Amino acid sequence: MTPAIEVKQVYKRFGTTHALAGVDLEINVGDFFALLGPNGAGKTTLINILAGLTLASSGSSCIMGHNVVTNYREARRMLGVVPQELVFDPFFTVRETLSIQSGYYGLKNNDSWIDQIIYHLDLADKVNANMRTLSGGMKRRVLVAQALVHKPPVIVLDEPTAGVDVELRQALWRFIKQLNRDGHTIVLTTHYLDEAEALCSRVAMLKQGKIVALDSTRNLIKSITGCSVRLRLSPDILPSVLQPLMGSYDEGCYILAVNDYSQIENVLAALRVAQVQVLEMQLLQPDLEEVFVKIMGSAENLEPV
């Protein structure tokens, strides 16, 4: 099957800066995919190359089998991008903005789909408002609507929930998850790693323009061995025998690293012997944030390109 996105040995240089250093990436049709990395890792540069806003220094990129350079018209039709920046035309209303966007793709009689987008993104009461009068969160909703107006099979969301309220975040994810269930491929960049963990089935992590991890979300989390136990104790003293397990002390609680569940009984037994009472106990499972920190730390000393 033709991949939704296929990137082969893509390099991008801005003068002496190497934004991308030989990226190879394949995203399958129907994936909900996370593209993660610290600021400056190259995520937005890669998205701009896919969207045709930036030319790669070398390498090739395809959207649904269409090369973004040699077959750019079809590639553009296959892709909808929600950018980080709030870019809008201040002279039009919300509906006019979406109608004009439809016209860019030669779409006629698109009002029914526009109405659905407006409903799902809770823009109905702003449909006749001028774009410049909207709040930042409402402008963000319109950017999402613009990216969806031509029903692209591949949707890229570049930090879509940055600085928006909880209500919009929940409404957006409900709509996007439904689009994914309907067969759309979703690519998400976000600094909210809990969102990526909850939504995305596969993850790629970028560091200094290189992919340093690529796997299913489940496998990446399973790569972290052990777990942690959060304990609130009375008296607030950790017995010396448990000091080697000490990870941190946070808000009156000790965080202890354990290799497996069986070690928890050893911890409790040591507390009983020391006559220390457990007031509160919580088992902390590894998560995507822990994986991210570990991988970014191990990738700190990448060789310069």
Say if residue 123 is in the same domain as residue 255: no
Q: Give the pLDDT confidence score for residue 304 in this predicted structure.
A: 40
pLDDT at residue 226 tops 80: no
pLDDT higher than 60, residue 18: yes
Among 84-93, 230-239, 272-281, 296-305, where is mean pLDDT lowest? 296-305
Residue 182 lies in a domain: yes
- The rounded mean pLDDT for the chain is 90
Same domain membership, residue 90 and residue 210: yes
Residues 56, 172 within the same domain: yes
**172 and 109 in a common domain:** yes
- pLDDT tens per residue, range 147-173: 999 999 999 999 887 767 787 788 888
Q: What CATH number corresponds to the domain at position 68?
A: 3.40.50.300
Task: For the sheet with 277-284, list strands across it.
Answer: 246-250, 253-258, 227-234, 277-284
Digit-coded pLDDT (tens) for 169-182:
888 888 889 999 99
Would the pLDDT of 301 be above 90?
no
State the average pLDDT over residues 65-92.
Answer: 90
The residue out of 221, 251, 273 marking a domain boundary is 221
Which residues form the domain of 36? Answer: 5-221
